[in-house]
């Protein structure tokens, strides 16, 4: 469902992502972890079609992002780490804007939007301007909008930033349920506990290179640790790599 | 005091860095270009004011009165400008800037934060007004052959004027923020300011000030002189500055020092009062600013269903654009301003004294109609600069939504183009038709000007949208100010060139056609070829002016990494 081949990004002399090769299957929740500045957000931006790679290819649902970007993007629900939105629209208007953009039929829009807003505890705020929302509420609104058009792939950068514990729990459950329905979730996170609890497989990136990939158990083996804690595994892997 | 300096340091470092990084490469070229234009403008002001003063000086009896009246008016206008500019800048610097949350979390008392911010705000709001009043004041010094005392005294006086204006504005803002949230306050002040300006502007224009230079209107010269000598209010700080500068020009040093001392002591007093007040209420006001802004209009003004005939992505952006535009109160005021300008523009044609001219009215009417095309297109350029040029930057940091959406940058830009194209086309055509009716032009001129405008408007709007896309600033606190950037300058130059070329290409053929019509002459075949070729050339030029900037904008925006 997601295919990254020789994906490389250079900013001048600095190599942010280096020859990244990765395949995420349909219905899989894939976690992408790494220290600050490792290249997680750059990778995610290239996958979302925001950033052009220096080299390599991104395929979403079999569609090459750089050959047919509009078609590939229509398959994605993209959730960035910082919730910048149109502040002068209400929550409901923002959802309608997204629905029109992604071609959600008018007949199903109202019911779907209300259900999603309810799920994300935003129903009471639906008719308020986004500028009056808190950081967490904006993040929840972006998530609602990303799910509105039934995407085949969800790409999410730091999903839990700004969310309260109840929302974190809800999002973790939601990702698992979506995966069961065949949606592929690719998420980058610093919250190792979330990765451990939600992801089927985890990729560790450091200095632009994918240094390890597998289930938590496989990563433990690779990091030569028997401890169940992913934090220890992460530190061992990244320290060894540097 | 150390803490105040520390708080000001990021600002100083930022200015220094900008200076050094722009010293090389493309940024250096931009600074050079903008600097050259600034300098040219400065020299222009100097030349005009010097010329006017020399002329005034040559008029017996009332020459000095006129010169000093001009000085007094300039100081009152500068003071008003400083007040208005300080209101907006102090609101941003003291209550709305993004870094304030960080600054207020630092272990520094709020009045020290206030002092640092106020100094920053005063410099930012005053530097341009001060720099551009200098050429006028220098020309006074030269024409009145003033000594070094005049220049030193004037500098001190102008700094006092800037500090007083900034202190008064900040006092006003600080008190008002306690009652109205700062986020709304900015809109309120801009609204009130522009509304007052529009009312005053309309009142002045409709009272036909041009009659003041018509001696027939005055019963006697004495009434005229008396009206000029009416003193301004002694309570206005600009009056003290005026008296100080005037005394310095008249070599009355003791009188000049008195008024400068008056201005200085008032500056000290008001700044002291300001700091006292800030210590008591600044933090309270800042704290209130953190509250979520309430929505002014709950009712949905724009019905989404009107645009149901459009394809989904186009509808979504059209509705979003219109809604965000209408909900931004600062935009409404601009519409009032444009409406006032349009009224004045049309009114000017109504009061043109064509019948007093020695040239035949029919020639003048049609000549004005032809030149009016160029004028109307310049008005369009100014409006495009305000609305269409910042259209892409207005997406701000939510631009990621466009980049990740299943919509190509090309479609996105053309949506933006059409959103602005239709209203701007209607506005320009209304301007042209209304003024042509007032001028009672021939049907030929009416057809020519409406058609020319019809084909030129897309070019100007496309240059606005395209160049705005090529040089966007998604992080600008106020995207409408992006027009003052390098891209804005390029837009202005290209538009001026484009309009100039269109007028130039059409001038010859139009003259030929018009004169043939008046004299009932037959036009030769070669003349027809020339006329036809010229109009085709204008058409080609318009197609290029529409397509090339849009392509350029599309390419640059697609390459942009966010």
Q: B363 versus B343: which is more confidently predicted?
A: B343
Same domain for B195 and B284? yes
For B229-276, write each residue's pLDDT tens digit.
555 677 888 889 999 999 999 889 999 999 999 999 999 999 999 999
B195 belongs to a structural domain = yes
Mutation for testing the A interface, residue in B291, B311, B397, B406 having most A CBs under 10 Å? B406
Q: A36 versus B553: which is more confidently predicted?
A: B553
Q: At which of B289, B304, B332 does a domain end? A: B289
Element (H, E) at B197: helix B182-206
Stretch A152-160: mean pLDDT: 91
Q: Which residues of B touch A103 (CB under 8 A)?
A: 312-313
- Which residues form the domain of B445? 320-559
Same domain for B195 and B115? yes
Same domain for B334 and B233? no
Shortest CB distance from B312 goes to which of A76, A84, A100?
Answer: A100
B302 belongs to a structural domain = no
B23 belongs to a structural domain = no
B108: nearest Cα among B8, B238, B230:
B8
Shortest CB distance from B404 goes to which of A50, A71, A128?
Answer: A50
Whether A135 contacts chain B with CB within 8 A: no
Contact by Cβ (8 Å): B238, B75: yes
Check CB contact under 8 Å for A132 and B294: yes
The pLDDT value recorded for residue B22 is: 47
> Residue B123: pLDDT band by 50, 70, 90 thresholds?
very high
Stretch B154-182: mean pLDDT: 89
Q: Which residues of A touch B407 (CB under 8 A)?
A: 70, 101
Rounded CA separation A1/B322 (Å): 38
Check CB contact under 8 Å for B316 and A100: yes
The pLDDT value recorded for residue A27 is: 94
Q: Is the pLDDT of residue B24 over 60?
A: no
Check CB contact under 8 Å for A84 and B294: no
Q: Is the pLDDT of residue B383 over 50?
A: yes
The pLDDT value recorded for residue B560 is: 85
The pLDDT value recorded for residue A202 is: 92
Q: Which residues of A touch B323 (CB under 8 A)?
A: 88-89, 93
The pLDDT value recorded for residue B502 is: 93
For the ranges A73-87, B23-37, B226-240, B265-279, the maximum mean pLDDT occurs at B265-279
Stretch B342-351: mean pLDDT: 79
Mutation for testing the A interface, residue in B320, B410, B412 having most A CBs under 10 Å? B320
pTM of the model: 0.69
φ, ψ of residue B423 in degrees (nearest 5): -60, -35
The pLDDT value recorded for residue A160 is: 84
CATH 3.40.50.300 segments of chain A? 2-75+152-241
Contact by Cβ (8 Å): B454, B429: yes
Neighbour tally for B425: CB within 10 Å = 17
Angle formed at CA B322 by CA B317 and CA B328, multiple of 5 degrees: 125
> Residue B7: pLDDT band by 50, 70, 90 thresholds?
confident
Rounded CA separation B539/B48 (Å): 39
For B80-120, write each residue's pLDDT tens digit.
889 888 888 888 888 888 778 778 877 788 888 999 999 99
- Which range, of B191-195, B348-352, B510-514, averages the lowest pLDDT? B191-195
Same domain for B334 and B210? no
User: What is the four-CA torsion angle of B253, B255, B261, B264, rounded to 10 degrees?
Assistant: -90
Q: How far is A181 from chain B (nearest CA, A)?
A: 23
Q: Which residues of A touch B415 (CB under 8 A)?
A: none
Q: Is the pLDDT of residue B131 over 80?
A: yes
Structural domain total, chain B: 2
B132 belongs to a structural domain = yes
B345: nearest Cα among B308, B377, B317:
B377
Contact by Cβ (8 Å): A47, A58: yes
Pick the residue from chain B with its C-alpha nearest to A83.
B398
3-state DSSP of B464-485: HHHHHHHCCCCCCCCHHHHHHC
Q: Which pair of structure tokens corresponds to residue B112?
A: 């020290």
Please, what CATH class does the domain formed by A2-75+152-241 belong to? alpha beta
Q: How far is B553 from chain A (nearest CA, A)?
A: 17
B306 belongs to a structural domain = no
Mutation for testing the B interface, residue in A17, A69, A101, A124 having most B CBs under 10 Å? A101
Stretch A16-42: mean pLDDT: 92
The DSSP secondary-structure symbol of B96 reads: I
Q: Which pair of structure tokens corresponds to residue A147?
A: 């799910």
B8 belongs to a structural domain = no
Same domain for B205 and B135? yes
Q: Which residues of B touch A85 (CB under 8 A)?
A: 398, 401
Same domain for B366 and B260? no
Q: Is the pLDDT of residue B20 over 80?
A: no
Question: Could you tell me how far CA A61 lies from the centroid of its own chain?
Answer: 15
């Amino acid at each position: 469902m997601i295919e990254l081949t020789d994906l490389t990004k250079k900013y001048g002399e600095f190599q942010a992502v280096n020859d990244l090769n990765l395949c995420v299957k349909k219905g899989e929740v894939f976690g992408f972890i790494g220290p600050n500045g490792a290249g997680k957000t750059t990778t995610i931006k290239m996958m979302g079609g925001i950033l052009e790679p220096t080299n390599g290819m991104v395929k979403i649902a079999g569609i090459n992002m750089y050959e047919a970007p509009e078609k590939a993007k229509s398959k994605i629900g993209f959730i960035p780490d910082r919730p910048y939105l149109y502040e002068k629209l209400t929550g409901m208007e923002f959802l309608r804007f997204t629905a029109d953009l992604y071609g959600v039929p008018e007949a199903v829009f109202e019911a779907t939007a209300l259900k999603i807003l309810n799920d994300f505890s935003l129903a009471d705020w639906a008719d308020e301007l986004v500028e009056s929302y808190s950081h967490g509420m904006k993040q929840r609104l972006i998530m609602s909008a990303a799910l509105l058009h039934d995407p085949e792939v969800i790409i999410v950068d730091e999903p839990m930033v700004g969310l309260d514990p109840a929302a974190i729990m809800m999002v973790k459950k939601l990702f698992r349920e979506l995966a069961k329905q065949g949606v592929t979730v690719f998420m980058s996170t610093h919250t190792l506990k979330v990765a451990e609890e939600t992801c089927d497989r985890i990729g560790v990136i450091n200095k632009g290179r994918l240094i390890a990939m597998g289930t938590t158990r496989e990563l433990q083996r690779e990091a030569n640790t028997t401890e169940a804690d992913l934090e220890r595994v992460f530190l061992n892997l990244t320290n060894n790599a540097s | 005091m150390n803490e105040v300096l520390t708080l000001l340091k990021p600002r100083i470092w930022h200015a220094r860095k900008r200076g050094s990084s722009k010293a090389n490469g493309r940024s250096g070229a931009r600074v050079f270009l903008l600097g050259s234009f600034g300098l040219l403008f400065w020299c222009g002001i100097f030349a005009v004011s010097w010329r006017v003063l020399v002329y005034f000086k040559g008029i017996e009896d009332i020459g000095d009165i006129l010169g000093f009246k001009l000085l007094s008016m300039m100081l009152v206008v500068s003071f008003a400008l400083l007040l208005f500019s300080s209101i907006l800048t102090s609101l941003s610097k003291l209550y709305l800037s993004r870094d304030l949350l960080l600054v207020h979390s630092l272990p520094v008392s709020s009045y020290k934060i206030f002092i640092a911010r106020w100094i920053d705000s005063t410099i930012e709001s005053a530097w341009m007004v001060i720099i551009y009043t200098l050429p006028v004041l220098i020309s006074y010094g030269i024409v009145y052959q003033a000594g070094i005392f005049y220049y030193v005294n004037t500098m001190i006086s102008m700094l006092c004027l800037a500090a007083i204006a900034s202190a008064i504005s900040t006092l006003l803002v600080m008190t008002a923020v306690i009652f109205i949230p700062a986020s709304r306050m900015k809109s309120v002040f801009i609204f009130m300011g522009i509304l007052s300006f529009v009312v005053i502007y309309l009142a002045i224009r409709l009272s036909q000030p041009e009659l003041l230079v018509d001696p027939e209107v005055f019963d006697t010269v004495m009434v005229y002189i008396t009206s000029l000598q009416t003193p301004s209010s002694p309570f206005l700080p600009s009056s003290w500055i005026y008296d100080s500068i005037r005394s310095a020009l008249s070599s009355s040093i003791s009188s000049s020092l008195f008024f400068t001392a008056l201005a200085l002591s008032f500056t000290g007093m008001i700044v002291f009062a300001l700091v006292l007040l800030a210590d008591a209420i600044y933090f309270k006001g800042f704290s209130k600013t953190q509250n979520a802004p309430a929505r002014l209009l709950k009712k949905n003004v724009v019905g989404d269903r009107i645009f149901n005939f459009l394809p989904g992505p186009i509808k979504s952006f059209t509705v979003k654009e219109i809604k965000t535009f209408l909900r931004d109160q600062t935009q409404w005021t601009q519409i009032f301003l444009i409406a006032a300008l349009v009224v004045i523009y049309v009114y000017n044609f109504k009061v043109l004294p064509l019948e007093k001219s020695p040239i035949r009215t029919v020639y003048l009417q049609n000549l004005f109609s032809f030149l009016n095309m160029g004028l109307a297109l310049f008005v369009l350029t100014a409006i495009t600069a305000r609305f269409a040029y910042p259209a892409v930057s207005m997406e701000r940091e939510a631009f990621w939504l466009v980049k990740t959406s299943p919509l190509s940058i090309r479609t996105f830009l053309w949506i933006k183009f059409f959103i602005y194209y239709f209203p701007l086309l209607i506005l320009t055509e209304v301007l042209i038709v209304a003024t042509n009716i007032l001028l009672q032009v021939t049907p030929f001129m009416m057809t020519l000007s409406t058609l020319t405008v019809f084909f030129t408007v897309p070019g100007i709007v496309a240059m606005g949208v395209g160049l705005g896309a090529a040089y966007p600033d998604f992080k600008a606190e106020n995207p409408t100010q992006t027009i003052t950037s390098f891209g804005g300058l390029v837009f202005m130059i290209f538009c001026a060139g484009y309009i100039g070329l269109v007028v130039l290409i059409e001038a010859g053929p139009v003259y030929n056609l018009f004169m043939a019509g008046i004299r009932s002459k037959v036009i030769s075949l070669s003349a027809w070829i020339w006329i036809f070729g010229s109009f085709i050339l204008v058409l080609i030029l318009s197609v290029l002016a529409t397509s090339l900037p849009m392509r350029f904008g599309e390419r640059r925006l697609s390459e942009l990494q966010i």
